[in-house]
Structure formats: structure tokens, C-alpha cells
Amino acid sequence: MMNEKIKARNRMKFKFAVRYLSAFAVYVAVIVGMFFLLRAVCERVIWYPEDPNYVFLHFIKQNSVAVIVGFFVVGWGIVTCVFIKKWMSSLDEITRAAEQITLSPEQAVVLSDELKPLQDELNAARENALRTAQEAKEAEQRKNDLLVYLAHDLKTPLTSVIGYLTLLREETEISPKLQEKYTGISLRKAERLEDLINEFFDVTRFNLTSMELEFERVHLSRMIEQICSEFEPVLQEKNLTWKLDIEPEITMIGDPDKLSRVFDNLIRNACNYSYPDTEIQCSLKKENDSIVCRIKNHGKTISKEKMGRIFEQFFRLDSSRATATGGAGLGLAISKEIVEKHGGSIRAESADERTSFVVRLPKQYSIVSNNSEKHGS
């Protein structure tokens, strides 16, 4: 796309140059032709010294080179002035177009045919700016809505915790079985409260500070195996099972905390959105010049519209306020930023009730334990 734009600009510049040189060449040809025509005519006529035209024509003949050069200079000046005026007119046209983009970005820019390539570029920039502004506006609105949602939902687990703890304090004759039940409920509500508070921090931090990575050697194989094992209790609740295909001893240079957050987010999503009694697949392999991690689950197919926005800030697959799966909508957006900061990419696919996330990290950042690979700078 960028090469096409450069080619279009070069073509426009070439056309201006050709027209300028062509106009000057035509002028030179006319002057030279007229000079030789006049000379040929004058040679056919007998001139006398007393003839008033004789002195003038004799002067021209004696100084023919200087006269021709003079005409060339005058002609070059005239042609240049004409084209400068034309260029200034084009510049004014471009300036007005730029002002229009600033004042009325909704209106399409229309330039003369000679500036058609520039017109296309300006309209593309205008549309991109409009799209970016709209996305920023929508993200800000989603952020504000989520802040209200989080503030409201903080009350629910807090009220439950207070209620159950008050019950445990006031009911002295309560059975150990009920004590265990109420304590477990209070603990789960407190954990939910902690999650909501963490989401508050994510919302307030995101885009307010630039993400900085602290690089060190990371054992990816062990990291992913450990994260998978930490989700065993979650899997048991829905009777989910693992299918792990993790190539051993793969390490890389990266930020362990940030990378751990990426895989924690992806595995958590897979658990939350899987149907009960299904299998979650997780693989880690080296493919050509990349290290690739795939996480696949069996659940509701994500629509194409949502797939196009799944990595947007504050976008939530499940808009229900009451669901435990609906976080602040930052997990995937932050994951994408972390992966790209490591020089990699992340994509998602969903079809036939199978959703998969693919994280691809460049091999130049990786080190395999046999020291056959080198990490990048």
C-alpha cells in the first residue's frame, strides 16, 4: 500500500516536470524557428545602409548568439513564472483541503485532476482520523460504563461477605457443616471482590502509563505447564479436561510477569467460555522461525462482528453485568500489547463451536535449552 502511494506521488511529480520541460522546449523551438525563418527571409532581400531596418537587422546578425540566449532567458522566465503560478494555485488548493479536513472532516476532499493521487491520500487520512476518533470515543464510553458497572458490582460481594460473617458471629449454635459452607461462600465472594478491585486498577492504569518490559530468560514450557496446573480446580468445577502438547525445554528472552499474564488470560478465557464436560487443548511448539502457542476450547462460536473487536480495549464478549466471566474487557487488549511488545503477534479464530487463540513469538527472541538457538537483542 505504501509503495503504491509513493509511486502515485512520483507519477504526479513526473507529470509536472514533463509539462514544465515540454512548455520550455516548445518555446525554444518556436524562437529558434522564427529566428532562422527571419534570417532566411532577410537574406533574400537587398538591404541598403540608409534603410532604417538595416541597422536593426545588422545588429541582430552580428549578435545572433546573444540575442538567442536573451530570448532563451526571457522564455525560461516566462515559462517558470507561469508554472510557479500554477504550483502556487495547487498549493492553495491543498491548503484549503487541509483546512476542510480540520473544520469539516465529514466532507470528502475534492481536488483537481492533476492532484488526484494527493486527493486519494488526503481522503484516506481523513477517513482514518474519523475512524480513530470514533474508536477512541467508543472506548472511552465503554470505559465509563465499566467503571459504573465495577463500582455497582463491588457492593454485591461485599454485602454477601458482611452478611455471612455477621451470621457466623451471631449464630453461636451453628453447626460445623454450615460454618464451613458460609466460610466457603464468604471466601469466594471475597475473591470476587479482589478480582473487581484488580479490574479497577486495570481500567485506571491502561493507557495512562507506557508498558515497559523487564527482560530475562523465561522457561516458556514450564510457565505454561504451571499455569495449566493452577487452573485444575476451575476445570473440575465444569468437568473440563486438558489435552497438553507442550514441547519441552523451550525458553526465550522476555518479561516473565507480562508473558505469564498473557497465557493466564488466554487459558482463563478458554475455561470460562468452554462447555461443561469438554476438552481444552494447549500446545507449544517451534515452527520455522517462530515459537507458537495454541489454546483451543469447545464453546459457543464467536460471531464475526465480535471477532473483529475481540482485542479492542474494554470490549467484553459477555455484556452481562452479573456474569463472573465478564471482566473489564482489558485482558485480551493487554495480552495483544504484551505480545506485540515482544515482537510477536496474536490472533483468534472461531468456527463450529471451536475457538482458538494463537500466540506467535519470533524465533530470534528464543533460546532452546540445547543452546543451539540465540536470542535477539
pLDDT in tens, 15-55: 777 777 787 788 777 777 777 776 676 666 665 666 666 66
Burial grade of 316 (CB within 10 A; 0-12, 13-18, 19 or more): buried
Task: Give the torsion sign (CA, 32, 38, 39, 40).
Answer: positive
Instruction: Give residue 320's pLDDT.
Output: 47
Residue by residue, DSSP assigns 280-320 as: EEEEEEEETTEEEEEEEEESPPPPHHHHTTTTSTT--S---
CA dihedral 298, 304, 310, 312 (to 10 degrees): 180
Closest CA to 111 of 12, 3, 14: 12
Give the span between the Cα atoms of 109 and 125, in whole angstroms.
11
Q: Strand 250-254 vs strand 216-219: parallel, antiparallel, or unpaired? A: antiparallel
Burial grade of 109 (CB within 10 A; 0-12, 13-18, 19 or more): buried
Over its length of 377 residues, how does the chain's per-residue pLDDT go in tens digits? Answer: 556 556 666 766 777 777 777 877 887 777 777 777 766 766 666 656 666 666 666 666 666 677 777 777 877 788 788 778 877 777 777 888 878 777 777 788 787 777 777 778 788 888 888 888 888 887 777 677 666 766 666 777 788 888 888 888 887 778 888 888 888 888 888 887 887 777 677 666 655 456 678 889 899 999 999 999 999 988 998 999 999 999 998 989 999 988 998 999 899 889 989 999 999 999 999 988 889 999 999 999 998 888 888 888 667 666 544 444 455 566 788 889 889 999 999 999 999 999 999 999 987 654 443 343 434 43
CA 259: distance to chain centroid? 21
Instruction: Give residue 43's pLDDT.
Output: 65
The predicted model scores a pTM of 0.53
Instruction: Give residue 206's pLDDT.
Output: 59
Bridge-partner residues for 361, per DSSP? 291
Closest CA to 144 of 203, 201, 187, 78: 203
Give the span between the Cα atoms of 76 and 298, in whole angstroms.
76
Give the span between the Cα atoms of 99 and 92, in whole angstroms.
11
Give the span between the Cα atoms of 18 and 23, in whole angstroms.
8
Q: Which domains does the chain have, with CATH numbers?
A: 2-104 (no CATH), 137-205 (1.10.287.130), 216-368 (3.30.565.10)
Instruction: Give residue 36's pLDDT.
Output: 73
Burial call 32-51: b when 16+ CB within 10 Å, e when fewer:
eeeeeeeeeeeeeeeeeeee
Instruction: Give residue 209's pLDDT.
Output: 54
Judge whether 68 and 35 are in contact, CB under 8 Å: yes
Sheet containing 241-246: which strands, arranged edge to edge? Answer: 241-246, 279-287, 290-298, 354-362, 345-351
